[in-house]
Amino acid sequence: MPLKTHLDEQPSINLTSMIDIVFLIIIFFMVGAEFTEMERDISLHVPEVSDIRALAAAPEKKVINVFGDGRISLDDQFVTLGALEARLAAAKSEYADLGVVVRGDSEGRFQEVASVLNACRKAGISDMGISVRMAAAPKGSKR
């Protein structure tokens, strides 16, 4: 039986190529950052337009809360029914795909929720929803 008399060399990883690439990426980002600073320093007067519309996609659905005493809130601010319609119409003109979710108090009158839904319709919003909560299942029943 032959005996092994010499030691094998441990394999080594050559990191030179990876270090070169990391340095190139660092240099690329440093140069790119310099160009953005130069672009901001240019004294340029951009043109003005009269019809301003958002270039971004519509935000998440707006949440309208209808409290039991009839108060209405939009974006954490209390509004009247007329102000709600005006604010929604303004938001709809900016974002054509705007949607709303109406959250009504379970102890409140449904007429208040219906009035809010009507104001949303008058503002031109067609993507409307009503928020509800799942009731706890009675013991022993299957869903």
Q: What is the DSSP letter of 130?
A: E
pLDDT grade for 20, boundaries at 50, 70 and 90: very high
Domain residue extents for the chain: 62-130
pLDDT in tens, 30-43: 887 776 665 555 56
CATH 3.30.420.270 fits 62-130, yes or no: yes
Token representation of residue 112: 């208040």
Map residue 26 onto helix, strand or coil. helix
Q: Taking 90 as the threshold, does the pLDDT of residue 14 lie above it?
A: no
In degrees and rounded to multiples of 5, residue 89 shows phi and psi of -65, -40
